A and B are shown apart, each in its own frame.
Chain A
Amino acid sequence: MTELPFSGPTPGNAGSLLTTPLQRRSFLRYSGAGVALTGLLLAGCDDDDSTDHSAAFVDVGSGDLGVLNYAYALEQLEYAFYTQVKNGAYYKGLGASSVEKQILDDLAFHEKAHVDLFRNALGSNAIKDLEPDFSTINFDDRSIVLGTARAFEDTGVAAYNGAARYFETPTYLPLAGKIVSVEARHAALIRDILSFNAFVATDVVDLYTPAATGGIGAGAGSGLERSLRPALIVNAVNQYLQVGSKLNVSKFV
């Protein structure tokens, strides 16, 4: 992974947090190696792991419950965002018949459905209610609200795709699949509103370029979404969570 895309808006773009040293760490974290070998590998790498495992973090756990709690956390954040959008001057200034208002209302309904479902499905295994920190977001500004919405939706898609491998049983894979495509529909529309035809673009999809010769498939690229591992996702979203609610996803292996 030489490129770490994150479709954040210019304000509050989380992409800058995705630093190169993290790649090496995530490689180790997800290598699936036994403890003894992990120790060996660590000995051969720079010691740049500064993850704070204190009470400032919410540990989502591992396995099926871990993936569900990870998804629950991201959905909580998304829903909290759209809830906050409704308190801002941009949304309040939209007329009753505004298409943007209808879209934002739909997104809030959908995210509420996702949050409630995860909370109910997890029951006593659910992580706590997270406290968001949206202090860096100007909810009165249309381009910032829509740009941040785009970032959250794109991040959701990359996160679901990159976390499915951590399910230990196939039980909840179909549920995740039902949600991720809706997140992708959201992302594509917000992107088209901000920049028409950006529904797929190189920051979120490894775009394919056809070759002049050689036939079908001879070109460069794959047309695949750029899925992201949990460690990269939380480094991007933790800035929007208060201390005590920031996510720790280190148990996924």
Chain B
Amino acid sequence: MDFFQLLSDIEKVDPEVYERFDARRRVFKHFGAMGKKLTAAAMPGLVSGLFSKAYGQATSLPADVVNVLNLALSLEYLEFYFYDTALNRPTYGLPTSATLFTTTPATATSERQGIVLIRNDEEGHIKTLRAALGAAAIPAPDRALFDYSGGAGSLKGPFADVFTSSATFYKVAQSFVDTGVRAYKGGAPTLFNNKDLLETALNIHSVEARHSSHVRTIRRGKAANLDGPPAALAAPGSPATAPKSWISGIDNGGASPGTTVSTTPIYGAGSPATDYPAENNIVQAGRTITNDSGINDVAASEAFDEPLDPKTVRTIARNFVASTSTLFT
């Protein structure tokens, strides 16, 4: 078998053949492990296995990996429907009398367009996670299962005006994106043995962090009555209303610490706290950052985001789905 002629021929009809191998480079470990035992007789079987992996479906995933990915997928649905509802209120039977976000000065740099971009990313994440999970993915949840008032299905939670008040909308948005960043950070180590899935999760994680930065930027702008481009240079103030684009300490409990469904747990410690410290943590890898770097507690906490455990993430998210739903249970 002329292996290289084969690759060359395939490249003529599939220019991405090398990319396929690169993305799934583990298949080459079969060769690496066998190394010296490679014989001409063994080549056909090895090559056939290699191609089935390069082009085939993922094999069944371990249960803990499935759990992490399905929690991530559930969070993505929660976020997707949140932004999609806000963008398309008539479709969801909601009034449009109040302006949720501005559409000026130009479409591309408007507040609304930023939300469109975030909504689209979340839909892409749903697509990606469903593909990774295959038949192990949860059934696609119905929009009706979600309650963005934070009322666990009553629609009368503390954020009941979420789709009529711009301020409330962004409070909830910030809470979701910040929870998402911590959730992916908490879930990533479970994916350690599957390098491709790990990288995929990290590539979602950093996009969620970009979203968080942007939503926080918008909130700073709102606090200064600045929409669109000028918002990017609004000054930070109270963490409750004008947060930085990064998390300072525990951000005073986030966007709505005083409501009955409080945002405080989003920035607090998970369980166990040694593995999932609160966002105001200043000790990393056994080193006290303030001492080592001569910076204050605020800067030291901002420099590192903290992970959150799945159970705490579920407890936070449960407030936003009907109590009868199995999502986040």
Q: Is B7 an interface residue (CB 8 A)?
A: yes
Q: Are B213 and A184 in contact (CB under 8 A)?
A: yes
Interface string of B17-42 (1 = CB under 8 A from A): 01101100110110111111010000
Is the CB–CB distance between B305 and A120 below 8 Å?
A: no
Q: Interface on chain B toward A: helix, strand, loop, or mixed SS?
A: helix
Within the complex, the shortest CB–CB distance from B31 to chain A, in Å, comes to 5
CB of B109 within 8 Å of the partner chain: yes
State which residues 235-277 of B face A: CB under 8 Å.
Answer: 235-236, 244-246
**Binary per-residue interface labels of chain A (185-209) against chain B in the complex, 1 for a CB within 8 Å, 0 otherwise:** 1111100110111011000011111
A217: nearest residue on chain B (CB-CB)?
Answer: B127
Q: Would you call A93 an interface residue if the criterion is a C-beta within 8 Å of the partner chain's C-beta atoms?
A: no
User: Which residue of chain B is the closest to A119 with respect to CB atoms?
Assistant: B292
Determine if A36 and B36 form an interchain contact, defined as CB atoms under 8 angstroms apart. Answer: yes
Question: Bound state CA distance, A121 and B285, in angstroms?
Answer: 7
Interface residues of B in 99-157 (CB under 8 A from A): 108-110, 113-114, 117-118, 120-128, 130, 140
- The residue in chain B whose Cβ has the minimal distance to the Cβ of A253 is B32
In angstroms, Cα B38 to Cα A172, docked, is: 35
Residues facing A in B203-232 (CB within 8 A) are: 203-214, 217, 228-229, 231-232
Query: Which stretch in B59-67, B166-174, B187-195 binds the other chain?
Result: B187-195
CB <8 Å contact, B293 and A112: yes
> Within the complex, what minimum Cβ distance (angstroms) separates B9 from chain A?
12
Provide the bound-state CA to CA distance between A175 and B212, in Å: 19
Contact B200 A196 (CB under 8 A): no
B234, B246, B289, most chain A CB atoms within 10 A: B246
Q: Which of A114-163 contact B (CB under 8 A)?
A: 114, 116-117, 120-121, 157, 160-162
Given the interface pairs A2-B19, A182-B246, A208-B123, the reply to whether A189 lies near B232 with Cβ below 8 Å is yes
- Assess whether B122 is in contact with A223, with CB atoms less than 8 Å apart: yes
* CA distance in complex: A200, B124 (Å): 13
A138 to chain B, nearest CB (A): 21
Given contact pairs A27-B18, A37-B32, A188-B209, A222 touches B289 in the complex (Cβ within 8 A): no
Q: How many A-B contacts if CB must be within 8 Å?
A: 283
A100 and B127 in contact, given A106-B246, A113-B293 (Cβ under 8 angstroms): no
Alpha-carbon gap, A41 to B25, bound state (A): 14
In the complex, how many angstroms separate the beta carbon of A35 from the nearest chain B beta carbon?
7
Task: Give bound CA distance, A121 to B289, whole Å.
Answer: 12
Most buried by A among B28, B198, B217, B287: B28
Residues of B within 8 A of A244 (CB): none
A200 to B122, CA, bound (A): 12
With both chains docked as a complex, state the minimum distance between the C-beta of B300 and any C-beta of chain A, in angstroms.
Answer: 6
B82 within 8 A of A: no
B303 within 8 A of A: yes
When A165-B198, A187-B210, A189-B232 are in contact, do A219 and B123 touch as well, CB less than 8 Å? yes
Q: Does B181 contact A (CB under 8 A)?
A: yes
Decide if B318 is an interface residue (CB 8 Å cutoff).
no
| Cα distance A109–B236 in the bound complex, in angstroms | 17
Contact of B185 among A120, A172, A181, A219 (CB under 8 A): A181
- Contact yes or no, A224 B204, CB < 8 A: yes
**Residue of B22, B124, B234, B300 touching A224 (CB-CB under 8 A):** B124
User: Can you list 16 contacts pairing A with B, beta carbon distance less than 8 Å?
Assistant: A30-B22, A31-B28, A34-B35, A37-B31, A37-B35, A99-B233, A113-B304, A184-B210, A187-B210, A187-B213, A196-B109, A196-B114, A199-B210, A199-B214, A205-B207, A223-B207
Query: Which 6 pairs, one residue from A and one from B, show the smallest C-beta to C-beta distance?
Result: A223-B124, A208-B124, A217-B127, A188-B213, A44-B4, A184-B209
